């Protein structure tokens, strides 16, 4: 069963990555602008005091403008930082995007060493990237389990972030795969839930 699950995940990653390559740079930029606007309109974003965002890879939706906006608006902002000694990500607080950001281990922007780690229990909202999501909140990552370990124990709302092309009928998952409470796409804010009606937050 484990072999079958890994094979199914690998096949889905291949399919979604191929689909993402067909999105033009102009379409990516427009989709990212739409996604940022949709986040700003959500009550959960407006009410969140402490937020974990992420610096996007080239193939991901770009919510980076929200970082500086949220800081200016008085939110406590954190980003994932990779700790090479433990091979784990931690949430570290940033206060100024000009001085607190460096290029990290995987060539992704992350908090500099002087930025202090944020207690995961204090995070109200976590925006989570991924390769694919389904409407039950299942998430397919890149296969290393970094985000599943980071998200374990975070009580705040977890929102997957994806292009509409990354939403699929069902993501193959295991018991340790952390599910999302909501999913953001450029066109939808979806509240997920097994056995309940899915609600589109607009």
Q: What is the pLDDT of residues 34-51, one digit of tens each?
A: 999 999 999 999 999 999
In a domain, 9, yes or no: yes
In a domain, 197, yes or no: no
In a domain, 176, yes or no: yes
In a domain, 200, yes or no: no
Distance CA 163, CA 186 (A): 6
In a domain, 179, yes or no: yes
pLDDT tens-digit profile of 60-70?
Answer: 999 999 999 99
In a domain, 199, yes or no: no
Domain of 21, CATH number, reads: 3.40.50.10420
pLDDT tens-digit profile of 87-134?
Answer: 899 999 999 999 999 999 889 999 999 999 988 888 999 999 999 999
In a domain, 74, yes or no: yes
Model confidence pTM above 0.85 = yes
Distance CA 84, CA 88 (A): 7
State which residues form the domain around 179: 2-192
If you write DSSP's letter for every residue of 159-202 in order, what string do you get?
A: EEE--GGGB-S-----TTSPPPSEEE-SS-EEE--TTS--EE--
In a domain, 201, yes or no: no
Instruction: Tell me 117's DSSP state.
Output: B
Q: How many domains is the chain built from?
A: 1
Give the DSSP H/E element, type plus range, for residue 65. Answer: helix 65-72
């Amino acid at each position: 069963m484990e072999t079958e699950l890994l094979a199914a995940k690998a096949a889905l990653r291949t399919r979604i990555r191929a689909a993402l390559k067909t999105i033009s740079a102009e379409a990516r930029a427009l989709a990212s602008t739409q996604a940022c606007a949709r986040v700003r309109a959500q009550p959960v974003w407006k009410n969140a005091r402490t937020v974990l965002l992420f610096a996007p890879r080239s193939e991901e939706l770009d919510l980076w403008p929200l970082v500086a906006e949220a800081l200016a608006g008085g939110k406590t902002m954190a980003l994932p930082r990779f700790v090479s000694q433990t091979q784990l990500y931690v949430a570290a607080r940033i206060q100024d995007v000009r001085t607190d950001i460096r290029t990290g281990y995987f060539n992704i922007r992350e908090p500099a060493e002087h930025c202090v780690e944020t207690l995961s229990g204090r995070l109200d909202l976590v925006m989570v990237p991924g390769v694919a999501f389904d409407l039950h909140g299942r998430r397919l990552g890149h296969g290393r389990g970094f985000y599943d370990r980071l998200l374990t124990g975070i009580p705040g709302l977890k929102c997957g972030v994806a292009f509409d092309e990354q939403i699929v009928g069902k993501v193959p998952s295991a018991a340790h795969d952390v599910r999302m409470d909501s999913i953001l796409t450029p066109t939808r804010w979806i509240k997920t839930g097994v056995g309940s009606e899915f609600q589109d937050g607009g």
